[in-house]
Chain A
């Protein structure tokens, strides 16, 4: 059992990694990017292409793909999100959903329905493991992903609080008009934030490809994982995202123990329970919730 808990926590690192870009973009721009998962899969395919066609190891491939993802993030904000966000809060949902459909199907058109993996290109790393006390074997890759998640979340948190750029991003997210008054270029801050978010998405896509398989339509599942981890962790703190990822992974592990098909169900149910508790504790309570709907609706 303790073995499964350890594996679950390590898997949580991956979920935190894919969730942090989503919650980062949401906290800065108030936009939920429905193409989030598809962009992660795009990054995985880019690395796969570099590895299989040009024999570039995925780790070196990141040196090419991550800057590319940053450019994509910048362009996404400048040409799509900025424009659609002006039309209200609902339009970006539709825009990014359309983008997700385009990305998924272009990938399908290019690469077909086969499932791929980056595992064959990273040598023995995909199956090497360390033995920990108590006879627990942990995969080296899983540990690397977890450490990468912690470093990335810590780095983001630090740069948001300590650097000038981080301050201007936070100021923009609080109130972009007022930030503009004191000389913060809100457009630039948003575009940089989107670029940073896409770099984290690119990294998450790389680890998705290394630890598992992916196909052109895998983006939707990754989006749901990212969203669930971000919501469970709660907005506000990036460390909450790590907790959210771990809770999600442990719930999935537990679900898989209860029923052979329970892995995904466990995660979804945990998400709904957390949501329910959050509504319950926000001063309404279950009875309040029902009564509110029946008579006291605002």
Chain B
């Protein structure tokens, strides 16, 4: 009796695991070979990957589409300014700030997670708009004029650039690792059950609200880190730029194009967004029109995104967070529980 084999990773995914480790090592030593401008761009890329992965965690895995995630981006930067102003080391402030953002997101989640779909999406946008207005009232920020992370000036430019680069790389790696562990563990099974059918998941004992809250707080924390890092690279803090809905538009674009609900898709989307920005960012308005139109077209024609489509067609698994049932070829399935290997494969996503 040749039984079906349940495997976690494929040979490809084991190679991919080694590849990822190699890439991270390469990225860590890369600044030695890169120009100052390139180091700054790479830092931006790491921040994009964080944003995409966090929005994907929320929308792709938690089924929570938010258009108000800029609130956590802005707060990450704002709390950094506040902490640094209070005398804390600016680099330490970045992470303390993100922890505060995560803590703030918890009471927000109590409230917002009771809203459904579109109501949740715009509800968070209202929170973002309100938070923006309240931050403007802070004397230190001077309304829309903004302020700067002055305390970073004690470090010379190249130390600052390299430290931020490594911090961004480390944050990205750590956040992706946490997300990966989370999705592979028992919480991951719950998360995917919720994504596929919330009511059915609840009926078999999945803690729907608790799991969603976990994703919400993780996403808020990660986006807070991204906002703080962005402040560290840009130095100036203008509320309007940080609390702009444009950040959420970028996140949606990256995840939608890369592949919503797939771990690799968000990373691919961030890479593509980074390249598009590098090549077309200078065209201003048309660049933004293009981003909006691409998101629109993908949502209509290719809702699973590039990675989701490729994965389905070729059965690729690189950073596998799910399980795959491999049936012995040529034998009929006696139990009849699983219709065909094809269906099984396509059903196992994430």
A98 with B293: in contact, given A220-B245, A264-B129, A276-B111 (CB under 8 Å)? yes
Question: Is A59 located at the chain interface by the 8 A CB criterion?
Answer: no
Question: Is A275 located at the chain interface by the 8 A CB criterion?
Answer: yes
Distance (whole angstroms) from the CB of B268 to the closest CB of chain A: 17
Main secondary structure of the interface of A (DSSP, over half): helix
Task: Report how far A32 CA is from B120 CA in the complex, Å.
Answer: 11
Q: When the two chains form the complex, which single residue of A80, A108, A224 contacts B285, counting CB atoms closer than 8 Å?
A: A108
Q: Are A32 and B121 in contact (CB under 8 A)?
A: yes
Q: Are B133 and A109 in contact (CB under 8 A)?
A: no
Question: Is B178 located at the chain interface by the 8 A CB criterion?
Answer: no
Q: Are A268 and B130 in contact (CB under 8 A)?
A: yes
Q: Are A268 and B129 in contact (CB under 8 A)?
A: yes
Interface flags for B300-330 (1: CB within 8 Å of A; 0: not) read 1001000000000000000000000000000
Q: Are A102 and B210 in contact (CB under 8 A)?
A: no
Contacts of A224 in B (CB 8 A): 122, 125-126, 129
Q: Are A87 and B117 in contact (CB under 8 A)?
A: no
Main secondary structure of the interface of B (DSSP, over half): helix
Q: Are A109 and B286 in contact (CB under 8 A)?
A: yes
Centre residue among A84, A100, A102 by max chain B CB count within 10 A: A102
Interface flags for B219-252 (1: CB within 8 Å of A; 0: not) read 0000000000000000000000000010001001
Task: Report how far A87 CA is from B134 CA in the complex, Å.
Answer: 37
Task: Report how far A101 CA is from B295 CA in the complex, Å.
Answer: 10
Q: When the two chains form the complex, which single residue of B63, B115, B293 contacts A102, counting CB atoms closer than 8 Å?
A: B293
Q: Are B134 and A95 in contact (CB under 8 A)?
A: no
Contacts of B111 in A (CB 8 A): 272, 275-276, 279
Which A residue sits closest to B213, measured CB to CB?
A: A293
A95 with B209: in contact, given A224-B126, A224-B129 (CB under 8 Å)? no
Q: Are B125 and A100 in contact (CB under 8 A)?
A: no
8 Å CB contacts to B: which residues of A57-101?
80, 83-84, 87, 89-95, 97-101
Centre residue among A32, A80, A84, A97 by max chain B CB count within 10 A: A97
Contacts of B92 in A (CB 8 A): none
Q: Are A109 and B303 in contact (CB under 8 A)?
A: no
Q: Chain B interface: which size bin?
A: 35 or more
Q: Are A297 and B208 in contact (CB under 8 A)?
A: yes
Question: Is A163 located at the chain interface by the 8 A CB criterion?
Answer: no
Q: Are A83 and B117 in contact (CB under 8 A)?
A: no
Task: Report how far A94 CA is from B119 CA in the complex, Å.
Answer: 13
Number of A-B contacts (CB under 8 A): 130
Q: Are B126 and A102 in contact (CB under 8 A)?
A: no
Contacts of A34 in B (CB 8 A): 67, 118, 121-122
Contacts of B249 in A (CB 8 A): 97, 101
8 Å CB contacts to A: which residues of B65-102?
65, 67
Q: Are A91 and B303 in contact (CB under 8 A)?
A: yes
Q: Are A289 and B65 in contact (CB under 8 A)?
A: no
Task: Report how far A95 CA is from B303 CA in the complex, Å.
Answer: 10
Distance (whole angstroms) from the CB of B243 to the closest CB of chain A: 12
Task: Report how far A231 CA is from B65 CA in the complex, Å.
Answer: 18
Question: Is B172 located at the chain interface by the 8 A CB criterion?
Answer: no
Question: Is B114 located at the chain interface by the 8 A CB criterion?
Answer: yes
Q: Are B286 and A261 in contact (CB under 8 A)?
A: no
Q: Are A90 and B65 in contact (CB under 8 A)?
A: yes
Q: Are A94 and B118 in contact (CB under 8 A)?
A: no
Which B residue sits closest to A278, measured CB to CB?
A: B114
Question: Is A151 located at the chain interface by the 8 A CB criterion?
Answer: no
Q: Are B130 and A272 in contact (CB under 8 A)?
A: yes
Q: Are B296 and A102 in contact (CB under 8 A)?
A: yes
Contacts of A97 in B (CB 8 A): 67, 249, 252, 295
Can you list 19 residue pairs at the A/B interface with Cβ under 8 Å? A26-B118, A87-B299, A90-B59, A93-B118, A94-B65, A98-B296, A102-B292, A105-B289, A223-B122, A224-B122, A224-B126, A224-B129, A265-B133, A275-B115, A290-B110, A292-B209, A293-B109, A298-B202, A298-B208
Residues in A lying within 8 Å of B, measured CB to CB: 26, 31-32, 34, 80, 83-84, 87, 89-95, 97-102, 104-106, 108-109, 220, 223-224, 227-228, 231, 259, 261, 264-265, 268-269, 271-272, 275-276, 279, 289-290, 292-293, 297-298
